[in-house]
Amino acid sequence: MNRITARKVAFNIHALKSARRTLCCSSGVKLPSEDRDQELSDKHGSHTNHPVHDVAIVGGGMVGMALACSLANTPLTKKLSVAIIDSNPALLSGDVIKKEDPPDPRVSTVTPATIALFKDMGAWKYVEEHRHAYFDKMQVWDYTGLGYTKYNARDINKEVLGCVVENKVLHRSLLSGLQNADSEQKIYHFKLNSMTTQPSSSSTPHGSLAKLELSDGHSLYAKLVVGADGSKSRVKELAGITSTGWKYSQNAIICTVQHTQENFCAWQRFLPNGPIALLPIGDNFSNIVWTMSPDESSNRKSMSELEFVEELNRALDSGYGPRPKSQLSGAPPFSWLTNSDRTASSADDLFEAAPKITKLASERMVFPLSLNHANRYASKRVAIIGDAAHTVHPLAGQGVNMGFGDAFSLSKVISQGIAVGSDIGELSLLKRYESERKPANVTMMAILDGFQKAYSIDFGPLNVLRAAAFQGAHYISPLKKNIISYASGEQRFPLFS
Amino acid sequence: MVSKHLLTRIYSMTRPVLQIPQPRNLCSHPKFVHELQTRLFSDAPPPSPAAPASTPPPASNLQSKSSLNETELKKFAAISETWWDAEGPFKPLHLMNPTRLAFIRSTLCRHFGKDPNSTRPFEGLKFVDVGCGGGILSEPLARMGATVTGVDAVEKNIKIAQLHADLDPITSSIDYRCTTAEKMVEEQMKFDAVLALEVIEHVAEPAEFCKSLSALTSCGGATLISTINRSMRAYATAIVIAEYVLRWLPRGTHDWSSFLTPEELVLILERASISVQEMAGFVYNPLTGQWSISDDISVNFIAYATKNTE
Ligand SMILES: Cc1cc2nc3c(=O)[nH]c(=O)nc-3n(C[C@H](O)[C@H](O)[C@H](O)COP(=O)(O)OP(=O)(O)OC[C@H]3O[C@@H](n4cnc5c(N)ncnc54)[C@H](O)[C@@H]3O)c2cc1C
Ligand SMILES: C[S@@+](CC[C@H](N)C(=O)[O-])C[C@H]1O[C@@H](n2cnc3c(N)ncnc32)[C@H](O)[C@@H]1O
């Protein structure tokens, strides 16, 4: 090889010279940006009164804040300039939650999957500074006294099945997680009035960006607008995204109650007109979500506190029918139906009575039950997350978990887009978020809808079948494990896996 | 990421034929190697050893070699309005973009020792996108921090690219020019990374084109080339004709006979003193409509190569 090289060098002097010349000149190549920077600032100078952001999150509720917090705590997205638009006073940082404040009747049951995501972005430590209640047991039973089932975290080798946290605590923790991240974001304490996403004219400097007009009359531009503005989403409406939904002729009463014993179990009892759930929220408090007919709800909202507490205790234990009998050994009553396989480690758990309620600790709030699902989650420069994309009834406590799932998925997709230099408002990128979340949410909604239909109607004598289903769930271990992992946010397709 | 194993396979296919030891000091002697290889592996007559001083300057020499293929360029000029229509004729490029950019990001972050967690890892580096078309690749590169020059032989493409880039202050810094790789070589321009994606199948002389790409790459720089594999013809009749050619691309956008195989690409790059370090394939899943990086280079492939410095 050296031999060939040496021989060739002799008659290629001119080539060497030209090569050297090439090398010397390389530093002389003009940097394209140098003389353009000037041009740029001139061109955009007249628009400095309209701030330009990478992401504008409309709605700083729990889900919008989860997105902001996740973006701020992810390496590739923390440098994005994020705007949060919401007139909600809870976003003013002066507002601190005090231990002695009465518990908020609006609580969420967060799943282990959500807890893990909160931990990843450093927000869970703030939740732990406030009132919260982990629960490791769940007891579901039926007013007929024919069946019950108990779920245990041990069944799926977990410490907990979930954690009940007041919404204001979740919200505050996300805000703290955001404030303590090293990132740039601006909160606009206004409402969104209108939005334009169609490029006005290609000659305007931000022509291709979305333009938002706020309630104070000011405007801003963003590459991506995220609608996290709840079930009556203005963003969804302005983006022309339609949705499909239906109302159930049922309402839910939500309130906080106090009891004497400590509670580490989530309780749910099916009554003739719908289920009642008692969720521990810590400090001898629990949260009630009770579904019933609209007539019953207005009646129970207006009755005296004493009467209402009495009604609650009847609904949770003493009224409607007998307590189911604990199965200790021998064949369970519906073994012929369920073909029982008794290996679930909690199969021997005895039936327990729910804690006796002594006092009402909040006002009673009534909500109509409805299901609503957006037909699309994205359009050019717009994505919708949380209740803006889907609302479910509070029955299974999945609403906000679905929203958190959306927020983390969108945050991940934005991060992937940044990694490959995409325009983060590009529809093809946002479609990836949609295709990740839509099937998951639709499955969850179908299950909740089915659940609703199966359990809110009094089947009369057919209740025996429903009770059999409980017995089945109680004794068929793999099925039961699936149900728990589904409810704890780990599995996408319960029962079919 | 394509396995070293695959590359070894390609090398073992090319090396015995070439019988070429890795040339040394190529970077400081580009012209020399160029001629060394021309002499060894082409029919071109060796420069006369008798008259080294009177050899014409390389510039005029290069001018005569043009990579322009007029028929191909006309096809692109005809559909230049549709560059940014994600559902238009360039849909495959739009769909493939995130995938190929992921490959580019990971290889170039490694190459230049940049933090892959940085939002703008290519800050301070000069890239040229040869055959940039409407700027589908140039814009993301600019967002990733690179100082980008985009060049295309079709004036209309450059106009479209400029108009689109001006919509975003970050991309409006891209320097778009209607020129060719050869002309830039004449101007003695150098870049840290030279990218020519989905271009080589449209040029007149791929080997000459690669030499120009090499000459544009600075010492220690990187070259990235992607193209369609000629050997995918069988595959083409099945899914690709339906999904790729007939539905998306106007008939005749690609002339199958001008495609290269990965082996051929490695070979002509080697002759241009560029060594392929890694190769990856892109496979299209018609069910999800997504492309993904794979070891399968039988359809569409990308090569990351370095300019030889020793
Ligand atoms: C009675 C009830 C009980 C529930 N119980 C549970 C439960 O146990 N577990 C569970 O997981 N989920 C539960 N949910 C569901 C859960 O509360 C919601 O899914 C969750 O609050 C959705 O959060 P979000 O951030 O998407 O929307 P929201 O919490 O509705 O927040 C929307 C935000 O957008 C702002 N906004 C609205 N319009 C505009 C505008 N034009 N401009 C600017 N800002 C705007 C609002 O001020 C608000 O801050 C329950 C819901 C109800 C109604
Ligand atoms: C298939 S497009 C690829 C565009 C772009 N590189 C991408 O991958 O998104 C090929 C482009 O190469 C341009 N082109 C073809 N031959 C060329 C040449 N010899 N020099 C410069 N550009 C050329 C065409 O005009 C066309 O825009």
The answer to whether B98 contacts A422, with C-beta atoms less than 8 Å apart, is yes
pLDDT(B134) > 70? yes
Provide the CATH number for the domain around residue B224: 3.40.50.150
Measured at the alpha carbon of residue A356, what is the angle toward residues A355 and A358, in degrees to the nearest 5?
130
Q: State mean pLDDT over A215-233.
A: 94
Which has more confidence, A89 or A406?
A406
Q: What is the structure's pLDDT at A112?
A: 84
Name the pTM for this structure.
0.78
CB contacts, 8 Å: A15 with chain B: 29-32, 34-35, 58
**By CB neighbour count within 10 A (0-12 exposed, 13-18 middle, 19+ buried), where does A112 fall?**
buried
- Is B15 within the bounds of a domain? no
Q: What is the structure's pLDDT at A445?
A: 73
Which has more confidence, B266 or A454?
B266
Q: How confident is the model at residue A326 (pLDDT cuts 50, 70, 90)?
A: low
| DSSP-assigned letter for residue B229 | B
Q: How confident is the model at residue A19 (pLDDT cuts 50, 70, 90)?
A: very low
CA dihedral of A119, A121, A126, A128, whole degrees rounded to 10: -10
pLDDT(B30) > 90? no
pLDDT(B103) > 90? yes
Residues 163-192 of B with CB under 8 A from A: 163, 166-169, 172-175, 188-190
pLDDT(A14) > 80? no
Per-residue model confidence as pLDDT tens digits over B10-23:
444 443 333 333 33
Where does A351-441 show beta strands of DSSP type E? 357-360, 365-374, 378-379, 382-384, 390-391
Residues near ligand 2 (Cβ within 6 A): B 67-68, 72-73, 76, 93, 130-133, 136-137, 152-154, 157, 180-181, 197-199, 202-203
What separation in angstroms does the CA of A98 have from each of A88, A101, A131?
19, 5, 10
- What is the overall mean pLDDT for chain B? 75
Domain residue spans of chain A = 10-97+171-244+371-443, 131-165+246-368+459-487
Ligand 2 atom index nearest CA of B226: 8
- Is B100 within the bounds of a domain? yes
- Is B293 within the bounds of a domain? yes
- Is B18 within the bounds of a domain? no
Q: What is the structure's pLDDT at B126?
A: 98
Q: State mean pLDDT over B276-288.
A: 82
- Is B275 within the bounds of a domain? yes
Q: How confident is the model at residue A473 (pLDDT cuts 50, 70, 90)?
A: very low
Q: What is the structure's pLDDT at B228?
A: 77
Q: How far apart are CA A355 and CA A257, in angstroms?
A: 11
Taking CA–CA distances from A32, the nearest residue in chain B reads B175
User: Chain A contact for B260, CB < 8 A?
Assistant: no
Q: How confident is the model at residue A344 (pLDDT cuts 50, 70, 90)?
A: very low
CATH code, A131-165+246-368+459-487: 3.30.9.10
Per-residue model confidence as pLDDT tens digits over B59-98:
334 344 577 888 778 877 777 788 998 888 888 888 889 9
pLDDT(B2) > 50? no
- In the numeric block, which tokens belong to residue A358? 């002594």
Where does chain B show beta strands of DSSP type E? 126-130, 147-152, 175-178, 191-197, 217-228, 274-285, 290-294, 300-307
Q: How far apart are CA A111 and CA B122, in angstroms?
A: 40
Length of chain B: 310
Which has more confidence, B52 or A244?
A244
- When mean pLDDT is compared over A77-86, A365-374, B243-252, the highest value belongs to A77-86
- Is B145 within the bounds of a domain? yes
Q: State mean pLDDT over A132-157.
A: 76
Count how many pairs of residues, chain A against chain B, have C-beta atoms within 8 Å.
Answer: 134
Which residues, listed in sequence order, are joined to residue A175 by a DSSP beta bridge? none
- Is B301 within the bounds of a domain? yes
pLDDT(A188) > 50? yes
- Is B84 within the bounds of a domain? yes
Q: State mean pLDDT over B300-305.
A: 90
* Percent of the residues in chain A that have a pLDDT greater than 70, as a whole number: 70
User: Chain B contact for A19, CB < 8 A?
Assistant: yes
Per-residue model confidence as pLDDT tens digits over A415-443:
999 999 999 999 999 999 999 998 888 87
Residue reference for tokens 């972050």 = B109
Number of domains comprising chain B: 1
Q: What is the structure's pLDDT at B115?
A: 93
User: Out of 2.30.130.60, 3.30.1330.10, 3.90.700.10, 3.50.50.60, which CATH number does the structure's domain A10-97+171-244+371-443 have?
Assistant: 3.50.50.60
pLDDT(A95) > 80? no
The answer to whether B52 contacts A11, with C-beta atoms less than 8 Å apart, is yes
Q: What is the structure's pLDDT at A394?
A: 63
- B153 CA from centroid of ligand 2 (Å): 7
User: Chain B contact for A244, CB < 8 A?
Assistant: no
Cβ–ligand 1 distance for A62 under 6 Å, the answer yes
- What is the overall mean pLDDT for chain A? 76
Q: What is the structure's pLDDT at B129?
A: 98
Supply the range of the domain harboring residue B184.
61-307
The answer to whether B30 contacts A13, with C-beta atoms less than 8 Å apart, is no
Take atom 30 of ligand 1 and give the residue whose Cα is closest: A230
Q: How far apart are CA A45 and CA A41, in angstroms?
A: 5
Q: Which residues are CB-contacts of A93 (< 8 A; sequence separation ≥ 6)?
A: A175, A179
Q: What is the structure's pLDDT at A235?
A: 97
Per-residue model confidence as pLDDT tens digits over B205-255:
889 999 999 999 999 999 999 987 766 544 554 445 444 544 445 445 555
Alpha-carbon torsion (A484, A487, A491, A497), positive or negative: positive
